Structure 1
Amino acid sequence: MSRIDETLDFVPVRIAVLTVSDTRQMAEDKSGQTLADHISEAGHILVDRKIIADERVQIADQLRAWCANDQIDVVISTGGTGLTGRDVTVEAHRDVYEKEIDAFGTVFTIVSMQKIGTSAVQSRATAGVAKGTYLFALPGSPGACKDAWDEILCKQLDYRHRPCNFVEIMPRLDEHLRRK
């Protein structure tokens, strides 16, 4: 069963937060702030935080820039995962992914079902890996960000989490690039 192995040392992860919105400014960005607060409270390092309009190319460019930054291990975006015409975050993420973490969306849906019932079907939360960096796309509501953090990310981004976690395999995410 899932547990924290207290005999191991906590390993802080370096995280960037991207809010995707045509209307929000930093002062009104409750979802981005929710993530920033949870990241810091968990002992991780918030390396950068930005707001970008719902523009697929701009989102993908920012994700690529952060993936190229060796000071960033994880990128979490919030917003733009819905079904409307302006919701292009999922497509932008998939433009960048080398590998998709298929089960993330499924697990997020299970968590959401417990909170909001069948409304969970309207989310297209996704995750993947690119250039050794984890990428997570969450809905734009503070509640969804809190649920994703509390139920999934805080555990998978904790090196002490057993039976396994994302942190322990970080050194191997880009091993295919080092092979001859």
Structure 2
Amino acid sequence: MPDSVCHTPGPDTVRIAVITVSDTRTPETDRSGARIRELAAARGFPVVSYAIVPDEPDRIDAALTAALDHPDVEAVVLSGGTGISARDTTVEVVSRRLEKELDGFGELFRMLSYHDIGSAAMLSRAIGGIAAGKPVFALPGSTKAVALGMEKLILPELPHLIGELRKHRQKTP
């Protein structure tokens, strides 16, 4: 991080909900969800909620609502359903819920992906923002994509995001 960047102090740990969106994955075959949980745990961020839901908007929305309403969840990471097929509806569900979109997340994710997969990176609709006062990120379903998003973007910034959200919440009467 450049020396000129000043971060609002944030917590040492962030409690995360993980939602895998897939018609075919089970807890035994969900490698991307497992990778998110492993990376979060390695950073000291406990995963307090985990779900697998089919690529159905109502089911995705219900899982997202449950995660956002969970009193111990401070951030939500979704995996899957961010592509361009007719069944890929995660982005539509998440974007309806966002109070503020973090445009830079998707832009940076695609830029970093381009270095790995070339022009196919433009097919990713990864999105991030704030919903119900909590950071929410939707990543593609591949293990390589979730590792990239978690290691390079989400995990390094989550404490800062939480710190910013708490700072402004405390100032609101």
Structure 1-normalised TM-score?
A: 0.87
Counterpart contact for 2:129–2:135, Cα < 8 Å: yes
- Work out the CA distance in 2 between the residues paired with 1:175 and 1:92: 29
**Segment of structure 1 superposing worse, 59-68 or 34-43:** 59-68
**Structure 2: stretches of 5+ with no match in the other structure:** none
Provide the identity percentage. Answer: 34
2: CA distance between counterparts of 1:81 and 1:153? 17
Deviations 1:134-164 (A, max 9, x none): 110000000000011111112102x4xxxxx
RMSD, aligned α-carbons: 2.2
Question: Which residue identity does 2:161 align to in structure 1?
Answer: F
Aligned residue in 2 for 1:125: 126
Aligned counterpart, 1:162: none
TM-score (norm 2): 0.90
Aligned-residue offset at 1:172? 4.1
Superposition deviation, residue 117 in structure 1: 1.0
Give the C-alpha shift of residue 45 in structure 1.
Answer: 0.9
Corresponding position of 1:97: 98
- Output aligned runs, 1:36-75, within 5 Å: 36-75=37-76
Corresponding position of 2:163: 168
Secondary structure of the residue aligned to 2:28 is helix
Following the alignment from structure 1 to structure 2, what is the Cα–Cα distance between the partners of residues 22 and 74? Answer: 24
Task: Provide structure 1 residue ranges, at least 5 long, that are not aligned to the other structure.
Answer: 160-164
**Any idea what the Cα deviations from partners look like across 1:13-61, whole Å, max 9, x if unmatched?**
0001000000110100000000000000011111011100001121112
Contact persistence 1:156–1:166 (CA under 8 A): yes
14 and 119 in structure 1: CA distance in 2 versus 1, 3 angstrom threshold:
same
- Mapped to 1, the partners of 2:168 and 2:56 lie a distance apart of 28
Q: Give 1:175 deviation, angstroms.
A: 6.5
- Which residue of structure 2 aligns with residue 113 of structure 1? 114
Structure 1 residues 156 and 52: CA distance shift in structure 2, 3 A: same
Runs of 4+ in structure 1 deviating by more than 3 angstroms, as ranges, are: 172-176
Match of 1:154 in 2: 155
* 2:143 aligned with 1:136: no
Amino acid at match of 1:58: R
